[in-house]
Amino acid sequence: MSYGRSKLYSSASVAEEGDVGAAAVAEYRAPLQSLRDAEEEIETLRSINAHLVRQLTLLKQREAQAQILADRDGLTGLYNRRKLTPLLQEALEEARRQQERVGLLFIDLDGFKGVNDSHGHSVGDQLLVTVASRITGRARTGDLVCRYGGDEFVVILPHVAGAAAVRRVADTIAARLALPYHLGGVDLHMSAAIGGAVYPDEAADAESLLKRADLNMYRAKSRCNDRTASPPDLQRAGRRRDDTHKQRVS
C-alpha cells in the first residue's frame, strides 16, 4: 500500500510538472506568435504602402498629362491661347529684370476659309499642322510658338535686339509659309500677314503688346489688295509703315 501511495504521488507530480511545462512552452510561444503576427502586419503595411506609392505616382503622371493637354492645342501640339498669356507675362518679367526686349509676331493665314470650303476640314487641319511645323522650324531656339485660334498663330521672341531682329524672324517665317503645300493629293499655295511689336518700345505689358502686334498684322493685310499676295509684297507693304510705327513687322 505504501508503494501504491508512492506511485500515485509520483503520477500526480508528473502531471503537475507536465502542466507547468506546457504552460512554460505556451508562455514561450506566445511572444513568438506575437512577433510573427507583428511581422505579418508589417509586411501587410509595406504592401499597402507600396500600392499607395504606385497609385500616387500614377495620379501625378495623370495630373501632369492633364496639365499638358490643358496647355496645348489638340491639333497642332503648340501652346494654346490659354497658355499664351502666362508665357508672355513671364517673358516680359524676365526682360524687365534683365533690361532686355521681347518681340511678338501675330500671324494670320490668307484664304484659309477657302481651303476648308473647297477641300474640306481634313485638308484644312493638315494645312494647320504643316503651318505650325513650318513656323516652329523657322523660329529661333527659345522662341515660343502658340496657336491663337483658327488660322492665327503667335510667336514670342525673348531676348531680341530690336525691331530689325524681329523683322528677320518674320521674313524667314513668311518665306517658309509661302512654299507650296502638298496635302493628301491637294496642292496649295498660301501666304500670311504678319504683324510684329516690340516690348518695351511699343507696349508696356502683355495685353498691350499683343494688341499692337494684332493691329499691325491687320494693317499689313489691308495694304495688300490680293489676300494671296506673296511675302515680298507683304514685306514691302510693311516697309511703307507710318513713322509712328517704325518697329512694326509686316
Is there a contact between 104 and 156 (Cβ–Cβ < 8 Å)?
yes
Q: Which of 151, 205, 214, 242 is catalytic?
A: 151
Each residue of 59-93: pLDDT tens digit?
A: 676 666 655 667 999 999 999 999 999 999 999 99
pLDDT digits (tens, 9 = 90+) for 11-49: 555 455 555 555 655 565 666 677 777 778 888 878 888
Say whether 201 is catalytic.
Answer: no
- On whether the CB atoms of residues 114 and 151 are closer than 8 A, the answer is no
Q: Bigger pLDDT: 10 or 234? A: 10
Identify the pLDDT of residue 166.
93
Extract the C-alpha cell encoding 167. 523683322
Q: What residues does each domain of the chain span?
A: 1-71, 81-245
* Residue 35: per-residue pLDDT: 73
**pLDDT exceeding 90 applies to what percent of the chain?**
58
Instruction: Please tell me which residue, 184 or 143, carries the higher pLDDT value.
Output: 143
As given in the structure block, the three cell numbers for residue 55 are 497609385
CATH number of the domain located at residue range(s) 81-245 in this protein: 3.30.70.270
* pLDDT per residue as tens digits for the range 112-124: 999 999 999 999 9
DSSP 103-172: EEEEEEESSHHHHHHHH-HHHHHHHHHHHHHHHHHHSPTT-EEEEEETTEEEEEEEEE-SHHHHHHHHHH
Q: Which three cell numbers stand for residue 187?
A: 496642292
- The pLDDT tens digits for 124-156 are 999 999 999 999 999 999 999 999 999 999 999
Q: pTM for the complete prediction? A: 0.67
